[in-house]
Amino acid sequence: MPSTILVVDDDPHIRQLLVFAFGKAGLDTIEAADGEEALAQVERHAPNLVVLDINMPRMDGLEVCRRLRAASQVPIFFLSSRDDEIDRVLGIELGGDDYVVKPFSPREVVARSMAILRRTASRPPESEAIAVLRHGRVTLDPESWTVRWGEQEVALTVTEFTILRTLLAMPSRIFSRDNIIDRFRGPGFALTDRTVDSHVRNLRRKFAEVGGSDVIETRAGIGYRLGACSGAPAA
């Protein structure tokens, strides 16, 4: 299925570069020059991915992300004009799926956007059924991209969903941060350990809000593994 990318940046030159690069990759694009226009475009066109500048006047990208996450799980790819880890991690914790720092390579943005779209849109062959994953009170359905704690659905971003799916698939294994990055991004993907930690904090917070305080365990000096998922305090 064709995908539509919303490119949001107050710099028309950057928008032009990205629209051209996505077009060469066979992807349709729409544009927005500020945060308010971005929200309107999402409501009007329901894009498959939002490429979103953080530093914009009037309404910055972090506020746009907050508002989108209140009603949508559309993947968000942040563009940052500063190599500031605090801003980047904050963007991830608000629900972003990836980021790149300006100046960037348009080809890299396209490649990383395509990786997000593949994770979102991939479906198994009709002859191959993917089993629903269950552990304790957690249920993850790869077909419908839904996660539940008991009977209550837990809304996750694409990246959070993929991390949880990785842990659920091998519940007894301890995954290092590098293992997690390699599992759902591919080797060599530009994702930091701290960003993985941010996604894990998001997962813990979202499950804790519905009573799931033991979904992910930390193994000091090693990484993460799936917890008991019973509602007891986590390790």
Residue 58 maps to a domain: yes
Indicate the SS3 state at residue 100: strand
End-to-end CA distance of the chain: 43
Helices 193-208 + 158-169 axis angle, to 10: 90
Query: Given a cut of 90, is residue 41 above it in pLDDT?
Result: yes
Cross-strand bridge partners of residue 30: 6
Q: In terms of domains, do 13 and 108 share one?
A: yes
Residue 181 maps to a domain: yes
Query: Given a cut of 60, is residue 210 above it in pLDDT?
Result: yes
25-37, pLDDT tens digit by residue? Answer: 999 999 999 999 9
CA gap 17, 51 in Å, rounded: 13
Q: In terms of domains, do 107 and 75 share one?
A: yes
Residue 215 maps to a domain: yes
Residue 138 maps to a domain: yes
Place of tokens 């991004």: 185
CA gap 31, 8 in Å, rounded: 6
Residue 20 maps to a domain: yes
Q: In terms of domains, do 91 and 143 share one?
A: no
Domain boundary among 121, 155, 183: 121
Tokens of 29: 């694009």
Q: In terms of domains, do 29 and 107 share one?
A: yes
Q: Provide the pLDDT for residue 53.
A: 93
Average pLDDT, the chain: 85
Among candidate residues 210, 204, 206, the one with its CA nearest the CA of residue 235: 204
138-192, pLDDT tens digit by residue? Answer: 999 987 889 999 999 998 887 888 899 999 989 889 999 888 877 655 433 445 6
Q: In terms of domains, do 31 and 56 share one?
A: yes
Q: In terms of domains, do 64 and 109 share one?
A: yes
Q: In terms of domains, do 199 and 117 share one?
A: no
Q: In terms of domains, do 139 and 214 share one?
A: yes
Contact present, 19 and 46 (Cβ < 8 Å): no
Number of structural domains (the chain) is: 2
Q: In terms of domains, do 41 and 139 share one?
A: no
Q: In terms of domains, do 137 and 117 share one?
A: no
Q: In terms of domains, do 58 and 143 share one?
A: no
Q: In terms of domains, do 70 and 177 share one?
A: no
Contact present, 231 and 213 (Cβ < 8 Å): yes
Name residue 59's amino acid. M
Residue 233 maps to a domain: no
CA gap 84, 30 in Å, rounded: 28
Q: What is the largest CA-CA distance in the chain?
A: 52
Domain boundary among 86, 121, 156: 121
Domain span at 112: 4-121
Residue 234 maps to a domain: no
Please give the model's pTM, rounded to 2 decimal places: 0.62
Chain-centre distance for alpha carbon 118: 12
Residue 128 maps to a domain: no
Place of tokens 């269950």: 134
